[in-house]
Chain A
């Protein structure tokens, strides 16, 4: 039973390029959360998605960032026109339900470096 998968594990982009981060939830999980960990900081919530729906994007920067979780395939976090300040570790978590009863399971993260 594979855990949460994220790829790539490391991603290097030049300023102005696009970054696409993928997250495959655990089998049977249809709820996905994205968190960002800036250098020397704790994890901060970004967005919560169910299949084909964005439920809560209150933690997403207003510009350049978008997320989706299609009916088929992984969840995608897209960052357009990356800047140095986007360099961080991006973690995905999945759960069976959005209710607080259900634990979130974390992936290994994608470490984005913007040069």
Chain B
């Protein structure tokens, strides 16, 4: 059974700091991994999607890496801003022919202080 763990559960940093969020998964037979952002009381916004054959993906100040063999991914946020405050979720999709549900971690709650 696939399990996804995110560390830390919560993180508070001053504005401008670079930071790393960690995600680990127990079953390395994944098809892809996705990072989401969730604002309080809101839905999920997809940030980055990394295919299993890729090592990293970048979008603006965000960079996500994937080490499939060791079951790890990191989300790097450069020059953090108060607007980055949210819960960040990682989710993996297994190599299935149908269904391909997402298995989520419990998230890292990020607070960026001005």
The yes or no answer to B76 lying at the interface (CB within 8 A) is: no
A99-B97 contact in complex given A41-B106, A42-B107, C-beta closer than 8 Å: yes
Interface hits, B17-42 → A, CB 8 Å: 31-32, 34, 36, 41-42
Distance of A42 Cα from B102 Cα, bound (Å): 11
Number of interface residues of A (CB under 8 A): 24
A106 nearest in chain B by CB position: B44
Interface hits, B44-81 → A, CB 8 Å: 44, 46, 49
Distance of A44 Cα from B107 Cα, bound (Å): 12
Interface hits, B86-106 → A, CB 8 Å: 89, 91, 93-106
Interface hits, A90-115 → B, CB 8 Å: 91, 93, 98-100, 103-109, 111
Query: Can you list 15 contacts pairing A with B, beta carbon distance less than 8 Å?
Result: A35-B104, A43-B89, A48-B99, A48-B101, A55-B99, A56-B99, A59-B101, A93-B102, A98-B99, A99-B100, A103-B46, A104-B102, A108-B42, A108-B43, A109-B42
Chain A residues packing against B (C-beta within 8 Å): 33, 35, 41-45, 48, 55-56, 59, 91, 93, 98-100, 103-109, 111
